[in-house]
Structure formats: structure tokens, C-alpha cells
Amino acid sequence: MANNNLEDLLPDFDDMNTVAVASSTARLQAHMVKDEMDAYIAECVRQAYQNKEFWVNGKPPVQTYIDRVVSVVGNTPEDAKHIHDLTVQLAELQKLIDENRALLLNMRDQVSVFQTLSSNKRVGIT
């Protein structure tokens, strides 16, 4: 390896800590958004069963309709927008979590490469 200064290969440990904190913060936010979405959908389902305004032909919806329609778009256009917005927010947080995880794995791999090269240099392999 042409690089004589092995320390240049190490990632900055403060950066690693920053990425770890950002990842855990995003995970917490994602859990909170997921909980909000679950509660909102539960309320939509409750309304679909209890509010006759949402019944079809005077009958409460069947479970398949609840699973495939109400739990995806709610009962009203406002429900659909709110559920969509929460879904987008959750997807963006998951993307951030995935990016941070990949970055931390990359940094960990950099540390492993440094350890290998450092060990090899000490035993005279390089």
C-alpha cells in the first residue's frame, strides 16, 4: 500500500458517534410516527364499524374491506391524506436509518482494514 500513514485510513470517531446518535434519533422518530399511524388507523377502523355513515348498504364493512381499504386510506379523503403523509414520513425516516446503518458499517469496515494493515505492518508483511 502506498499510504505510509495508516491513521489516515481510520474514520473519525466523533463522526461515528454523530452517525450513531442520528441513527438512534431517527429510529425513535420512526417508532413515534408508526405509533401515531397505528392509532390513527385504529380510529378509522373503529369509525368504519361504528359510524353508519361509512357503512355500505346499511351494513358494517367486512374484515377484508377493513384490511384492504380502511387501514390503507381511512374513511375520508382527509384520512387518506393523513395516512399517506405519515407513510411518507415513516419511509423517509427508514431511509435515513438505512443510510446511517450503511455508513456505520462502512466505518466499521474501515477500522477493520486499518487493524489488518497495522498488524501486517508490525509483522513486516507490507
Domain ranges of the chain: 13-116
- Residue 16's nearest CA partner among 109, 113, 97, 103 is 103
Q: Tell me: the pLDDT tens digits for 47-101?
A: 999 999 999 899 999 999 999 999 999 999 999 999 999 999 999 999 999 999 9
Place of cell 431517527: 26
In Å, the largest CA–CA distance within the chain is 84
Return all residues near 55 (Cβ < 8 A) that are at least 6 apart: 61
Above pLDDT 70, what percent of the chain? 95
Residue 4 pLDDT grade (very low, low, confident, very high; cuts 50, 70, 90): low
More confident residue, 99 or 1: 99
Cβ-count burial 40-66 (b if 16+ within 10 Å, e if not): ebeebbebbeeeeebeeeeeebeeeeb
- Please state the pTM of the whole predicted model: 0.81
pLDDT of residue 1 exceeding 50: no
